[in-house]
Amino acid sequence: MTVIGIISDTHGQLSEAAFAALADSDHIIHAGDIGNPAILRELETLAPVTAVLGNNDFDEYGQAVGRFARPVIDGVRFLVAHYPRDVKISFAGSGALAPGDPIPQVCVHGHTHVPEIVTGPEARPATYVVCPGAAFRPRGGFPRCIAKIDVSDGCVNSVRVEALTGETLLEA
């Protein structure tokens, strides 16, 4: 099984608690508003990192960090963008996918600072739409949090949002 840690909206602040919460990750996704290239370097000491630019990021991360990312991790297809609207896929398509691109199983976004896990018709054609909330300046009455997804052999086994203290806030 592969553990994917998802973090967003660090805004230049990677707390010890956030770093510790991601320590068991085999791969880390940062859904934008990184705030400092040093954060990605620090996360890379834990696991490989896939990151996208947020509205508060500048093009200081090099070509490896763009507006969208489409990693395949342990056979599971992801679409990552900072804005929720950028991971919404309609019958007319998506700005993040070219015609003929495979449909992602999991869409990940940041920006709202409010954690969510969407499944069913509202997530379609993806299986899940996940926002990890915010590791810095959370909103909506939620604490600082991250998300974790367990995958293996092309299947999503579990999706959860965890407070930086370790308690599960949402799961699917």
Give pLDDT, residue 26: 98
Instruction: Tell me: pLDDT of 80 over 80.
Output: yes
Task: Kindly report whether the global pTM for this prediction surpasses the value 0.75.
Answer: yes
Q: How confident is the model at residue 17 (pLDDT cuts 50, 70, 90)?
A: very high
Q: What is the pLDDT of residues 27-47, one digit of tens each?
A: 999 999 999 999 999 999 999
Q: Strand, coil or helix: what is 126?
A: coil
Cβ atoms < 10 Å from Cβ of 142: 17
Instruction: Tell me: pLDDT of 8 over 90.
Output: yes
Taken in order 36, 41, 47, 50, the sign of the CA dihedral is: positive
Q: How confident is the model at residue 64 (pLDDT cuts 50, 70, 90)?
A: confident
Give pLDDT, residue 94: 78
Quote the mean pLDDT of the chain: 95
Q: What are phi and psi of 38, to 5 degrees?
A: -60, -30
Q: What is the pLDDT of residues 105-132, one digit of tens each?
A: 999 999 999 999 999 999 999 999 999 9
**Span 2-171: which CATH code?**
3.60.21.10
Q: What are phi and psi of 19, to 5 degrees?
A: -60, -45
